[in-house]
Amino acid sequence: MLAADLIHPIVPSLTISEPVGLALKKMEECELTTLPVVEGGIFLGFVEDEILLEQEHLDVQIAQVELECSACWVYADQHLYDVLRISNEQQAKWIAVIDRNQLFLGVVSVVEARTFYTQSYSIQSQGAVLVVSLEMKDFQLSEIARLVESENAKVISCLVHNDPSNPQQVEITLKLDIPDSRHVKATLIRFGYRVHDFGQEEGGLNTDEERIGNLLRFLAI
């Protein structure tokens, strides 16, 4: 899934010459508190309704208002992972999408992007989770998958997390298609892997908030 596929279809943009009053009206019509500011096809940043409401006069132009999150953008052909990574780095609710000529195409709702992720990539599939810690030089997903499959299980999702304190160390989070990972864990340990955390599938699914929290932890690289 690319950023271009996630563009929100009805979010308007503002220009720097538009008055604050018109911007607030657009926000009210769309039931939004944030809108992108674009001039000559170039994304300049986002403006919040709180900033607009602080202005003394409604005819003040957007050019005179402080913009935020000018770095909250991705290219249209970048992956959903990049959208989530940038949103996490910038603590943003919206991400602008531009083409390779730097022209603005639209915006992506971070909430909708996260929801799409949780509904995809096997996150909602039932199954156990294993977290394997190892040196990056030793990481071979094909070998790990082979050992998992030797216990009649399959890897249906995989996330790689770099340790900020040790760039050579990585954590591999594996989602399996079986509810009980004990035999897989034992096999990985027998072949020298460090399995320092694991979970069995409980009766129900984790909440979306928990899944998103875990996702952002692994994307914070």
Q: What is the pLDDT of residues 174-200, one digit of tens each?
A: 888 888 888 999 999 999 999 975 555
Residue 219 lies in a domain: no
Mean pLDDT lowest among 31-40, 41-50, 167-176: 167-176
Which residues, 6+ apart, have CB-to-CB distance to 129 below 8 Å? 173, 174, 175, 176, 181, 198, 199
In a domain, residue 14? The reply is yes
The residue among 33, 43, 51 whose CA lies nearest residue 13 is 43
Least trusted range by pLDDT, from 113-122, 148-157, 169-178: 113-122
Statement: residue 207 has pLDDT above 50? no
Residues 142 and 161 in one domain: yes
* Domain span at 153: 129-204
Which span out of 17-21, 54-58, 116-120, 174-178 was modeled with the highest average pLDDT? 17-21
- pLDDT exceeds cutoff 50 at 54: yes
Which pLDDT does position 199 carry in this prediction? 54
Range 120-129 average pLDDT: 69
Mean pLDDT over residues 29-53, rounded? 96
Does 212 map to a domain?
A: no
Same domain, 24 and 107: yes
Report residue 156's pLDDT band, with 50, 70 and 90 as the boundaries: confident
- Structural domains of the chain, count: 2
Q: Does residue 104 sit in the same domain as residue 18?
A: yes
Binned at pLDDT 50, 70 and 90, residue 125 comes out as low
Q: Is 149 found in the same domain as 101?
A: no
Stretch 23-49: mean pLDDT:
96
Q: Which of 14-23, 29-38, 43-52, 115-124 has the lowest mean pLDDT?
A: 115-124
24 plus 100 within the same structural domain? yes
Same domain as 7, residue 113: yes
Report the alpha-carbon distance of residue 194 to residue 209 in Å, rounded: 28
pLDDT at 116 over 80: yes
Please indicate, yes or no, whether residues 8 and 107 belong to a single structural domain of this protein. yes
Contacts of residue 60, defined as CB under 8 A and 6 or more positions apart, other chains included, come to 19, 20
Chain-centroid distance, C-alpha 52? 28
In the prediction, which pLDDT does 221 show? 43
Same domain assignment for residues 136 and 114: no
Residue 69 domain flag: yes
Query: Does one domain contain both 8 and 114?
Result: yes
Does 108 reside within a domain? yes
Per-residue pLDDT, 158: 82
Of 184, 183, 166, the residue nearest 174 (C-alpha): 184
Last residue of a domain, one of 53, 86, 118: 118
Q: Quote the pLDDT of residue 120.
A: 67
Q: CA–CA separation, 88 vs 161, rounded Å?
A: 14
Least confident of 63-67, 116-120, 173-177, 189-193: 116-120
CATH number, residue 92: 3.10.580.10
Q: Which residues of 91-128 are buried (b: 16+ CB within 10 A; e: fewer)?
A: ebbbbbbbeeeeebbbbbbbeebbebbbeebebeeebb
Mean pLDDT, the chain, whole residue set: 86
| 217 in any annotated domain | no
